[in-house]
Copies of this chain bind each other. A is one copy, B any other.
Amino acid sequence: MLIDGLQCGHFGRDIFQQLRQADIGCVTVTCGFWEDPLESLDSLGRWRDLVRENADLVDEARGAADIRRIVESGRTALIMGFQNSDLFGGRIRLVEMFAELGVRVVQLTYNNQNALGGSCYEEEDSGLARFGREVVRELNRAGVLIDLSHVGDRTSLDAIRHSEKPVAITHANPKRLFDHRRNKSDEVIRALAERGGVIGCATYRNITGDAYCGSVEKWCEMVARTVDIAGIDHVAIGTDRSHHFTKPDYDWMRMGRWTRGVDLGASPPSRPGKAPPPDWLIEVRDIGKIEGGLASVGFSAEEVAKIAHGNWLRLYGEVFGC
């Protein structure tokens, strides 16, 4: 059984069926990037409809016990996540309320600096700002997992130190293995792991690099090098797979409403559009190859289980509190 720490895009019955085929027991879905509070409520509303309409394949999970129950019923647990903190609209009191509505993962910043802190794409990372400290404390209190995937290194280190609960990098790779602004320094990964956090290794080609995209074994070697940095109890999977993304989706994800210009996000200028998936991950169901790949690069059964689901489950239990 696999737990995927991050997917995005347009989910539907076709995707849910492939998640089942790949024995993916749990996925954190992206409910928003730049969405404000009301748009985020709308998004949660659409997600509730989608879950109800596909109740034979998926269900919403709000705790680790939910995940186990849903997996035992032969379905995939979906965790509601946001890749930005704009859903709170600068209001500390909305953290608890969005948590009550089921939100369980929130990234402090997306690609831009915000009132909480600095992003990985900013030239200067302010560190965790005044409102950021408030939100970290409130996310802890409300049982919401803090995600640092797109957050700048300095803000990430501050958040790891400031948070009373372990935090996550749900979808990124070590910068040492592929040098990209979205990837993480050893310092950040080690600090995260020391406090009990987990990094989900990504399959998104722009931050993985062609070398690790050639086969599932190649990608699993990257996972093994990540384990060398973080330790076996702190590495998991966060594919960053996006479903049915078209240009308007990329434009919203990258430019939102914040620029009149063009921003390419993680893409290199030589390939501004959709990055091709890894050679081994053409269909969503191909994610199911990962467990075999991990075994083939030398992980024991126990280690495979930790990376495939155990580390996420342990972290979710600690943070969600149920």
Contact = CB atoms under 8 A, between A and B. Distances in A.
B42 A91 contact: yes
B38 A97 contact: no
A89 B38 contact: yes
Contacts of A243: none
A224 to B, nearest CB: 43
A93 B48 contact: yes
A48 B96 contact: yes
A48 B91 CA distance: 14
A42 B90 CA distance: 11
A89 B41 CA distance: 11
A101 interface: yes
A45 B101 contact: no
Contacts of A37: 37-38, 41
Chain A interface mostly = helix
B89 A45 contact: no
A309 B42 CA distance: 38
Interface string A38-60: 10011011101100000000000
A37 B94 CA distance: 12
Interface in A182-235: none
A97 B42 contact: no
Contacts of A97: 41, 44-45, 101
Nearest to A94: B41
A38 B38 CA distance: 7
Contacts of A122: none
A134 interface: no
B93 A49 contact: yes
A313 B89 CA distance: 37
Contact of A91 (B45, B96, B101): B45
Contacts of A93: 41-42, 44-46, 48-49
Interface string A260-279: 00000000000000000000
Interface in A220-261: none
A100 interface: yes
Nearest to A43: B93
Given A41-B93, A100-B101, 6 more contacts: A37-B41, A41-B97, A42-B91, A45-B91, A100-B100, A101-B101
